[in-house]
Amino acid sequence: MSLYDALRPLLFRMDAESAHHFALGALETAPAPFLRLAFGAAPALPREVAGLRFPNPVGLAAGMDKNAVALPAWEALGFGFVEVGTITARAQPGNPRPRLFRYPELGALINRMGFNNDGADAVAARLAHLKSSGHWPRIPVGVNLGKSKVTELADAPADYLHSYRALLPFGDYFVINVSSPNTPGLRELQEKDALAGIVRTLRDHDAAKPLFVKIAPDLTAPQLDAILELTAAENLSGLIATNTTLDHSVIPAGRDETGGLSGTPLRDRANEVLRHLRAGTDRPIIASGGIMDGPAARERLAAGASLVQVYTGFVYRGPGLLREITKEVGQN
């Protein structure tokens, strides 16, 4: 039995968000050598994507470490990269609790967090302190950017730019998140002209860092094709597919909650989106959504993903999931 297997019953007796904060607090304070000893090193499976070297293809998706408080721990646990955020220009509390719900029998979560975070300037100060301390991780760090809830859609480019400027010294790559279902109107920014305005604003400020766009699984084929056209026209580094879904058809009657669904029920649709995108571009695609075990990760990489990210799988499986994925991928 792994350490996580022993701790999971305690964590799952808490409500989902309290367990999240408890685990994050433990990782923030745990010494990296202890984590390496407790969970073991992940096998080295290096890949180069978008000009960055990844020690293995398994990353932590945005949403787990919104405020970048535990970066050394993610490296110590064996992740090949970590994506912090979503971070907005203004600090915001997010939606009222409860806002995170488990469905263990489905291997699923629903969240309506609403981009709760400390704001770009506060996170930048935290990252500056970490960098000066000498404990900066040796794995790539991605920064996921979202729109502040109070910002009008027409002002979104300037809102994203504020965060981009503040965090530019710290991210190895950046992600424009226009696909969360939990900020009113945000998904409208996936439309080609609106998204192009954000991309150009960030590129005009600094075009040196790889820039990705994270998309929803609920887009139609024509909408995906428009994203592909924009990817080529604006020279995006790549795409992240996918965010959570609004399709809750698998949730039992009487137990549904508003928000984005993640985990096992998302697997098939996320694969469909990945295959559609891969047929239309040779740029890197980071696969996310429904990667709960080694075969699911191998499936995504075989379908053309450059890297994979986990979130819900990590909640249910813990660090053992990383070892399972790297072993599965390393054997194929």
Mean pLDDT score, 58-70: 97
pLDDT of residue 1: 67
Mean pLDDT of 293-317: 97
Radius of gyration of the chain (CA): 18
For the chain, the average pLDDT equals 94
Burial of 133 (0-12, 13-18, 19+ CB in 10 A): exposed
Catalytic residues: 180
Give residues with Cβ within 8 angstroms of 163, minimum separation 6: 87, 88, 89, 120, 145
Task: Write out the two tokens for 327.
Answer: 């072993």
CB 199 within 8 A of CB 239: no
Instruction: State residue 192's pLDDT score.
Output: 82
Cβ–Cβ < 8 Å for 306, 59: no
Is the per-residue pLDDT at 176 higher than 90? yes
Task: Give the list of residues 6+ apart from residue 302 with CB closer than 8 angstroms, or none.
Answer: 332
What is the structure's pLDDT at 332?
64
Q: Which residue has the higher pLDDT, 37 or 284?
A: 284
The pLDDT tens digits of the residues spanning 76-87 come to 999 999 999 999
Tens of pLDDT, residue by residue over 92-106, are: 999 999 999 999 999
Give the CA distances from residue 312 to residues 108, 232, 233, 291, 309, in Å, rounded to whole numbers and listed in that order.
7, 31, 33, 8, 10
Cα separation, 215 vs 195, in Å, equals 11
| Overall average pLDDT of the 111-130 stretch | 97
User: How confident is residue 183, by pLDDT bands cut at 50, 70 and 90?
Assistant: confident
Q: How far apart are CA 67 and CA 24, in angstroms?
A: 10
209-220: pLDDT as tens digits: 999 999 999 999
Amino acid type, 139: I
Residue 142 CA, distance from chain mean position: 9
Burial (CB count <10 Å: 0-12, 13-18, 19+), residue 48? exposed
Q: What is the pTM of this model?
A: 0.96
Mean pLDDT within 186-205: 89
Q: What DSSP designation does 142 have?
A: E
Reported as a single tens digit per residue, the pLDDT across 213-267 is 999 999 999 999 999 999 999 999 999 999 999 999 999 999 999 999 999 999 9
Q: Euclidean distance between the first and final Cα of the chain, in Å?
A: 26
Domains and CATH numbers, the chain: 3-330 (3.20.20.70)
